[in-house]
Chains A and B, each alone.
Chain A
Amino acid sequence: MHLETKLVQAGVGKDEKTGAVNFPLYYSTAYRHPTLGESTGFDYSRTANPTRTVLEEAIASAESGEGGFACASGMAAIHTVMGLFSQGDHLLVSLDLYGGTYRLFEQVLSRYGLTFSYVDLRDLKAVEAAVKPETKAVFVESPTNPLIQITDIQGVAMLAKSHGLLTIVDNTFMTPYCQRPLELGADIVLHSATKYLGGHNDVLAGLIVTKGQELSEKIRFLHNSIGAVLGPQDCWLLLRGMKTLALRMERHEANAFAVAKKLREHPAITEVFYPGLADHPGHDVQKKQSSGFSGMVSFRLQSAEQVKPFLRNLRIVSFAESLGGVESLCTYPATQTHADIPVEIREYVGVCDRLLRLSVGIEHPDDLIADLCGALDASLAVGGSVR
């Protein structure tokens, strides 16, 4: 079955009693036991909730995995998965990375004796060289946030397997519509479903998909024990969003292409990062491992002074922290999403104070281009730096 069909049909026909096409929202926290020693399969909503189960089965199927788990936020999904590891364990992590993940690793989990090495995962030799006896996993973002660097997921997963490491991929930017890491050899896929999967900037959620029964059982235990589960209303909203994922992704991508091409021509901009552009260094890898390029475009202005006037002059694109929604959003990683990464590391990686990240929405592309170009023109006038 194709992904479009799988997603639209999620939950359909599961409510046998009424035939409701849209699966009902179960608010109940507790479930009556028929008698002592028997269960309907549902006991307590932290452990399992019927609405959440429909969502979890949908994402597991979409990502070609065995276990699906819905969490309170993308970060809750990441920290639940990190519960697999113990004091003394070491992980290799994508050098360019969402700031919130970096913060969790360095400021919370480091206190529990976990250590992390940040490696440019595009360089498989560097990955191999960074493996230590206590290394347990590789944590991949591809494309990375916010620099849109592309990692060869299959290459990393094969390398990881040869060293007995788990491969964990944050697939937030791509969604299973464009990229299915488990099919490329990864063991666990993570999502901030707040982004493209939810798609409407109206629900916080995280998803985990696992390959194989053993790993699924381990995550099931952690999901229930740590308790960072997603509420039923949010599960229902997320499922509702996922039904239109394919339509939205097509439009996000078409708009992103149009915007990326236009931005490249603008004198206020020095670089544009979009993997769909043929000269993007990761373009070929992306084409090989994904069926699309999604809607995230980052770019650098000529000078940091332009950032403020640019953001102030945007009329349609919102200056806000997040991505993947129907509405276009522009983020300034240096002070927003990546503020918790020390400035020297941030600058070294390339997340400088001239970098902006654009989540291209599904508005009409002409309106978006006019809005962005108008603000860029204004930034040149006010920022004063003309090439």
Chain B
Amino acid sequence: MNFATRVLHGTSCFDPVTGASSVPIYQASTFHQADLDRPGTFDYARSGNPTRQALEEAIAGLEGGERGFAFASGMAAISSVFMLFSAGDQVIVAEDVYGGTFRFLTKVLSRMGISVTFVDATRLEDIRAAITPATKGIYLETPSNPMLKVTDLAAVSQIGKERGLLVIVDNTFLTPYYQRPLELGADIVIHSATKFIGGHSDVLAGLAVTRDAVLGEQLYFIQNGMGAILGAQDCWLVMRGLKTLKARLDVSTQTADRIARWLSAHPAVSRVYYTGLADHPGHHFQESQASGHGAVLSFDVGSRERAKALFDRVKLPIVAVSLGAVETILSYPAAMSHASMPVAEREQRGITDGLIRLSAGLEDADDLIQDLEQALSALPPIAAAGQTSKEAFSRV
């Protein structure tokens, strides 16, 4: 079955009891037990809820994994998966990881005795060199946020397999429609389903899928034990979003591709990062391991002042934190998604004060380009800028 069909007719597409075309929302916290000797499938909703189970089965099926899990947010999924490790363990993490993940790893998990080594995951030799006897896992984002660097998933998974390490991939940017890391050898896939999978800027959610049942049992224990689960209503909203995932991504990716090409030729833009551009360093890996380039691109306008001028002038995109929505969203990584990263770390990763991230939505591409053009054409000259402002406005 092809993806477009599977997303609608895979698992859990209708209610087995009534035949309802939409899975019902079980807003129940507990389930009556008919008999002490024969416990029912569901007992307490933290441990399992039929609506949540439908979503968990759906994402497991789409990612080609054994078991799926729904969490209260992408960060709840990430923090729960990291609880698979114990004090004394070391984890190798892609260096331009999402700022919220960076914050959790360096400010919370580090106090629990888990050490993290950040590497440029696009360089396999750097990953190999970082492995010590204490290493237990490798954590990747590809393409990365916001620099769109591409990691060779099959090769890193191979290293993981050789050295007995868990390979965990945040697949938020591409979704299983374009990339299925488990099929490339990874062990766990994570999503901030708040983004493309939910797709409507109306639900916070995290998902995880494990490759095998043993890992699935371990993660289930943590999901139930720590309790960072997703509520029934939110599970239903994510499933509703999932039904249009393919249709939305087809349009958004096409628009992102057009905008990326147009920005590349624009004199007011110094650099464009999009894996669909042939001169992007990860272009070929991306073509070999994913079936699309996704709807997120970043571009550099040279300075904070110029970025601010652009944000003030655009009319269509929402200026906000987040991505992967029906609405086009412009973000400013230096002060939003990566505000929790020290300035030196941030700039070393290429996240400059002029960098802007664009997540293409479903608006008409011509309308978006026209809006960006009127904003870019009015920017002050690049030379006028340069000083770094430390003013931050968001703690997200």
Residue positions of A touching B, CB distance < 8 A: 27-33, 35-39, 43-47, 71-76, 78-79, 83, 85-87, 100, 103-104, 107-108, 111-113, 194, 198, 201-204, 206, 221-222, 224-231, 233-234, 237, 307-308, 311-312, 318-322, 325, 329, 332, 335-336
Q: Are A37 and B308 in contact (CB under 8 A)?
A: yes
CA separation between A335 and B43, bound complex, in Å?
12
A104-B226, A204-B46, A329-B30 known; A112 vs B233 contact (CB < 8 Å): no
- Complex Cα distance, B28 from A234, in Å, reads 11
Does B156 touch A at the CB level, under 8 Å?
no
Q: Are A28 and B201 in contact (CB under 8 A)?
A: yes
B320 at the interface (CB under 8 A from A): yes
Q: A79-B227, A112-B86 are in contact. List 20 more A-B contacts (CB 8 A).
A: A29-B322, A30-B329, A33-B393, A35-B308, A36-B319, A72-B76, A73-B227, A104-B226, A108-B225, A201-B30, A202-B27, A202-B29, A221-B107, A224-B395, A227-B76, A228-B71, A237-B27, A311-B33, A318-B30, A332-B36
In the bound assembly, the distance between CA atoms of A72 and B306 in angstroms comes to 40
A233–B103 contact, CB under 8 A? no
- Candidates A83, A203, A318; contact of B108 at CB < 8 Å: A83
B202: which of A29, A75, A85, A307 is its contact (CB, 8 Å)?
A: A29
Instruction: List 6 contacting pairs A-B, 8 Å CB cutoff, sorted by A.
Output: A44-B321, A73-B229, A226-B75, A227-B76, A227-B206, A231-B72
Within the complex, which residue of A47, A86, A234, A307 is in contact with B111, where a contact is CB–CB below 8 Å? Answer: A86
CA distance A76 to B224 in the complex (A): 10
Given A30-B329, A83-B108, A225-B107, A44-B86 contact (CB < 8 Å): no
The answer for the CA separation of A234 and B43 in the assembled complex, in Å, is: 19
Measured CB to CB, the nearest residue on chain B to A45 is: B204
**Chain A nearest CB, measured from B299 CB (Å):** 15
Inter-subunit contact A33/B320 (CB<8 Å): yes
A36-B311, A225-B104, A231-B231 in contact; A31/B112 too (CB < 8 A)? no
**Cross-chain contact A112 with B395 (CB below 8 angstroms):** no
Which chain B positions have C-beta within 8 A of A29?
A: 194, 198, 201-204, 322
Interface string of B304-318 (1 = CB under 8 A from A): 100110011000001
Residues in B with CB closer than 8 Å to A73 are: 46, 227-229
In whole angstroms, how far apart are the Cα atoms of A190 and B167 in the complex? 35
- A312–B33 CA distance with the chains assembled, in angstroms: 10
A233 contacts B318, CB within 8 Å?
no
Is there contact, CB below 8 Å, between A113 and B222?
no
Q: Contact between A320 and B32 (Cβ–Cβ < 8 Å)?
A: yes
* A43–B394 touching, CB < 8 Å: yes
- B87 touches A (CB below 8 Å): yes
Q: How far does the alpha carbon of A35 sit from the alpha carbon of B332 in the complex, in Å?
A: 11
Partner of A111, one of B87, B311, B321: B87
Closest A residue, CB atoms, query B202 = A27
Return the contact of B393 from the options A28, A39, A111, A335 (Cβ within 8 A): A39
Contact at B308–A36, with CB atoms within 8 Å? yes
State the Cβ distance, A363 to closest chain B Cβ, in Å.
15
B307 contacts which chain A residues (CB < 8 A)?
36
Using known A-B contacts A36-B332, A38-B393, determine if residue A311 contacts B319 with beta carbons closer than 8 Å: no
Check B100 against A227 for contact (C-beta < 8 Å): yes
* Known contacts A43-B321, A322-B30; is-contact A203 B112 (Cβ 8 Å): no
Alpha-carbon distance A320/B30, docked complex (angstroms): 6
Contacts of A85 in B (CB 8 A): 111
User: Chain A's nearest CB lies how many Å from the CB of B86?
Assistant: 4
Instruction: Give the residues in chain B near A45, CB-CB below 8 Å.
Output: 204
Contact between A44 and B322 (Cβ–Cβ < 8 Å)? yes
Known A28-B202, A319-B36; contact A204-B229, beta-carbon cutoff 8 A: yes
The interface centre, meaning the residue of A30, A83, A206, A335 with most chain B CB atoms within 10 A of its CB, is A30
Chain B 206-234 per-residue mask, 1 if CB under 8 angstroms from chain A, else 0: 10000000000000011001111111011
Q: What residues of B have a CB within 8 angstroms of the CB of A78 in the complex? A: 227
Q: Contact string, B322-350, partner A, CB cutoff 8 A, digits 1/0?
A: 10010001001001100000000000000
